[in-house]
């Protein structure tokens, strides 16, 4: 998937917005465009049965798309609490909440912190510090 010169110049904040829009629209095609072929998506806080690391665009997007089918959570928007720049201009730290509705429990707000590194206008590494207790509660499940 070749990137245009304009796409390669896109910074981390713009890539974050593309990622969010792909998640809201549940578009595997858009999600594929936001991740680099050799991207890594990590979940430092996870639970048994869930991956702590996904490697490569295909594995990442397949896992995300399967989650859209398996879970009744529908993201409707994101609330940015703060975005912190780092010494690396291609890396930002984002404090945010994913807001939406759950078929099981109604409205939800999932707090998380994301450390996002981009390369050539795509996600190279995303460390997703999702609040797994809040996610389980939104789905009406125990951990």
Q: pLDDT tens for residues 39-63?
A: 999 999 887 888 899 999 999 999 9
**Which pTM value belongs to this model?**
0.87
Contact criterion met (CB below 8 Å) for 128 and 112: yes
Strand ordering across the sheet containing 106-119: 53-55, 35-42, 122-130, 106-119, 91-102, 73-85
Q: Quick: pLDDT tens for 112-132.
A: 999 999 999 999 999 999 877
What distance in Å separates the CA atoms of residue 57 and residue 31, rounded to the nearest whole number?
Answer: 9
β-pairing verdict for 122-130 and 35-42: parallel
Q: Which two tokens stand for residue 98?
A: 């994913």
Q: What is the pLDDT of residue 79?
A: 97
Q: Tell whether the model's pLDDT for residue 69 goes beyond 50.
A: yes
- How far apart (Å, rounded) are the C-alpha atoms in residues 131 and 142? 13
Query: What is the number of other CB atoms lying within 10 angstroms of the CB of residue 58?
Result: 13
Q: How far is CA 72 from CA 14, 123, 141, in A?
A: 27, 26, 12
């Amino acid at each position: 998937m070749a990137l245009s010169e304009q796409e390669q110049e896109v910074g981390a904040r713009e890539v974050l917005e593309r990622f969010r829009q792909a998640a809201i629209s549940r578009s595997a095609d858009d999600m594929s465009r936001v991740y680099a072929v050799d991207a890594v998506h990590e979940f430092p806080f996870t639970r048994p049965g869930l991956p702590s690391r996904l490697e490569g665009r295909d594995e990442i997007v397949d896992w995300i798309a399967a989650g859209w089918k398996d879970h009744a959570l529908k993201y409707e928007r994101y609330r940015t609490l703060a975005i912190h720049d780092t010494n690396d201009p291609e890396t930002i730290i984002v404090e945010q909440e994913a807001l939406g509705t759950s078929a099981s429990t109604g409205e939800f707000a999932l707090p998380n912190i994301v450390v996002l590194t981009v390369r050539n206008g795509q996600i190279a590494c995303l460390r997703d510090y999702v609040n797994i207790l809040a996610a389980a509660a939104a789905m009406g499940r125990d951990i």
